[in-house]
Amino acid sequence: GAGVSQTPSNKVTEKGKYVELRCDPISGHTALYWYRQSLGQGPEFLIYFQGTGAADDSGLPNDRFFAVRPEGSVSTLKIQRTERGDSAVYLCASSLGGDQPQHFGDGTRLSIL
Amino acid sequence: GDSVTQMEGPVTLSEEAFLTINCTYTATGYPSLFWYVQYPGEGLQLLLKATKADDKGSNKGFEATYRKETTSFHLEKGSVQVSDSAVYFCAHNNFGNEKLTFGTGTRLTIIP
């Protein structure tokens, strides 16, 4: 079946611009997670949703980052006033929740010039 | 706070060699432990997991045992293949909290 889909696969933009990154989870998965992976590092947790609500947003670095999941399926990660330090691969994962395994997408590589 | 420390890479081995990648963790509560793998050009995939002390996770010839007394979850394989070349990540969550905490990853290269 279809896995987790993330678009775009690559995004290059200028410092100060606004970006939206999209995640389409596996059908039927109620839990959705966003992580950020910098070069040479492991993924770092940003936020996770159970259904439409954010169950834990403690990993969002500051108020420039925001994520939504209005219908409990597709999620969008939004970054305002981008900075060069935001450059990373943004990973999305979904699961059936609880202790079920998280299935990852291929990520969006974000480059801020 | 919660953290995962894993063996620094890169690691280069010959085909059929024995592999160990060390992983230790710091966590509150009762974590589940995971190994994820990222093959070249692919996304992160779950390799194996263990949910309680003394559990052994296994898959594709890889094994790891949940050692609560040493807070470790070392990855082992008896005879590696070229196709095992990838980056391996150790991770944990906590009971009641689904977010994963990852180590920095270990790049493994197997030469024929």
- Taking alpha carbons only, the member of B3, B32, B11, B4 closest to residue B76 is B11
Predicted local confidence at residue A1, as pLDDT: 56
pLDDT averaged over 10-residue windows placed end to end, chain B, 112 residues? 88 97 91 94 93 95 96 97 97 83 96 96
* Measured distance CA(A79)–CA(B54) in Å, rounded: 42
Measured between alpha carbons, how far is residue B57 from residues A61, B24, B33, B105 in Å? 33, 16, 9, 19
Contact B99 A105 (CB under 8 A): no
Q: What is the pLDDT of residue B8?
A: 83
Q: What is residue B18's three-state secondary structure? A: coil
Please state the φ and ψ torsions of residue B84, each to the nearest 5 degrees.
Answer: -80, -5
Q: How many helices (H) and strands (E) does chain B have?
A: 0, 12
Which pLDDT belongs to residue B29? 80
The arithmetic mean of pLDDT across residues A83-110, rounded, is 93
Query: Average of pLDDT values for A100-108?
Result: 93
Residue B30: the pLDDT is: 82
* pLDDT, tens digit (0-9, with 9 covering 90-100), for A51-77: 999 989 999 999 999 999 999 999 999
Tell me whether A101 touches chain B (CB under 8 Å): yes
Omega prior to B10 cis, within 30 of 0: yes
pLDDT at B92: 94
Q: What is the mean pLDDT of chain A?
A: 94
Is the CB of residue A98 less than 8 Å away from at least one CB of chain B? yes
Note the pLDDT tens digit of each residue in A8-46: 999 999 999 999 999 999 999 999 999 999 998 999 999
B45 neighbourhood in chain A, CB within 8 Å: 104
Residue B98 has a pLDDT of 83
pLDDT in the model for residue B88: 97
Q: How many CA atoms lie within 13 A of A68 on its CB side?
A: 5
Residues of B contacting chain A (CB within 8 angstroms): 4, 32, 34, 36, 42-46, 49, 51, 89, 91, 93, 97-105
Best of B45, B49, B99, B107 to substitute, by most chain A Cβ atoms within 10 angstroms, is B99
Pick A48's closest partner by Cβ from B42, B44, B99: B99
